[in-house]
Amino acid sequence: MQNNLISQASDMNTGDTPNDILPGMNQVACILISPFVEYVLNPLLAKRCIYLKAITRIAIGFCFVTLSMLYATLVQYYIYKSPPCFDHPSYCGNSVSAARYRPNVWIQAPLYFLMATGEVFAMTTAMEYAEKHAPKEMKVFVQAINMLITGIGSAIALVIAEAARDPYLTSFYGSLTGAMALTTIVFYVMFRNKDKDDTRADIEEGSRGMALPPPDSPLGSRQLDTIVTSGSTDTDKGMELTPITSSRTIHIERNTTAVAGSC
């Protein structure tokens, strides 16, 4: 795909900009977008009690990749609308003079930002999900399958490369847009229940993490002292205090109420 985009850039008004420098925007975008998602977007959503699970994040990544292909389709459309060669820009006699009528090459830059956003959401999440859910003995095998899928994608790109030529490039990018949109829908419909399973697992793990040590342990004694002190404070404020029948039960109820009230 990157080679096709470099070829697309060569048919645009490059000026003094080499047509193969634009793919570097993908790396720049990844460097900018990754910290933004990690330190700005995710905390902002967390404050509103919105937590994007793995399948949802991957689907969002696919949406951004779909938008990048749609953007490439629009760029190619306007290249073909440009005189004097229209839908045969590669066959212009004087390509330098003809290029000034075409879109500037930097118009292609948002495409790489969209693609990088899709990679941040989809690829990194997929690798994290595979590492988290794969059995310990199969983690390397799962990553190997991931590399195999990437190789299969490259092989498919070689097969369809014959269609990537004038005057069919608009249809070529449009077909990729449609295929990616269909893949996004099918993927989310098939695997969205995995997010619910992960949510249940997180709740169960959180419940196990709230388990208390035996009351006769030093830590249990400190927790009991905390509960008694807390109860005295509530009494001083005029609040009704329920008789303590079990220190372990009361402590769990307090923690559960705090967690439930946080969102």
- Please give the single-letter amino acid code of residue 166: D
pLDDT of residue 187: 94
- Do 22 and 55 share a domain, yes or no? yes
**Cα pseudo-dihedral 143, 145, 151, 157, rounded to 10:** -110
Of 204, 226, 247, the one marking the end of a domain is 204
- Do 156 and 253 share a domain, yes or no? no
Produce one character per residue of 198-219: b if its CB has 16 or more CB atoms within 10 Å, e if not.
beeeeeeeeeeeeebeeeeeee
Which of 17-21, 22-26, 140-144, 247-251 has the least mean pLDDT? 247-251
- Do 242 and 126 share a domain, yes or no? no
- Do 124 and 237 share a domain, yes or no? no
**Strand residue runs (E) in 83-201:** none
DSSP state of 240: -
Report the candidate in 74, 53, 202 with the shortest Cα–Cα distance to residue 128: 53
Answer whether residue 225 shows pLDDT above 50: no
- Whether the Cβ atoms of residue 8 and residue 176 lie closer than 8 Å to each other: no
pTM of the complete model = 0.75
Task: Categorize the per-residue pLDDT at 185 as very low, low, confident or very high, splitting at 50, 70 and 90.
Answer: very high
pLDDT of residue 263: 63
Return the half-sphere exposure (C-beta side, CA atoms, 13 A cut-off) of residue 232.
5
Tokens encoding 100 = 């000034």
Answer whether residue 49 shows pLDDT above 80: yes
- Do 53 and 166 share a domain, yes or no? yes
- Do 164 and 225 share a domain, yes or no? no
**Helix (H, G, I), strand (E, B), or coil: what is residue 13?**
strand
Of 181, 204, 227, the one marking the end of a domain is 204
Task: Categorize the per-residue pLDDT at 140 as very low, low, confident or very high, splitting at 50, 70 and 90.
Answer: confident
Question: Which value, in Å, is the radius of gyration of the alpha carbons in the chain?
Answer: 28
Instruction: Find the domain containing 227 and state its range.
Output: 213-262
- φ, ψ of residue 93 to 5 degrees: the values are -65, -55
Q: Find which of 74-78, 135-139, 205-209 is predicted with most confidence, using mean pLDDT.
A: 74-78
- Whether the Cβ atoms of residue 220 and residue 212 lie closer than 8 Å to each other: yes
- Do 196 and 110 share a domain, yes or no? yes
- Do 130 and 240 share a domain, yes or no? no
pLDDT of residue 200: 65
DSSP state of 162: G
CA–CA–CA angle 58, 64, 70 (5° rounding): 140
Report the candidate in 185, 73, 68, 193 with the shortest Cα–Cα distance to residue 119: 68
d(CA 153, CA 145): 12
Report the candidate in 186, 181, 192 with the shortest Cα–Cα distance to residue 65: 181
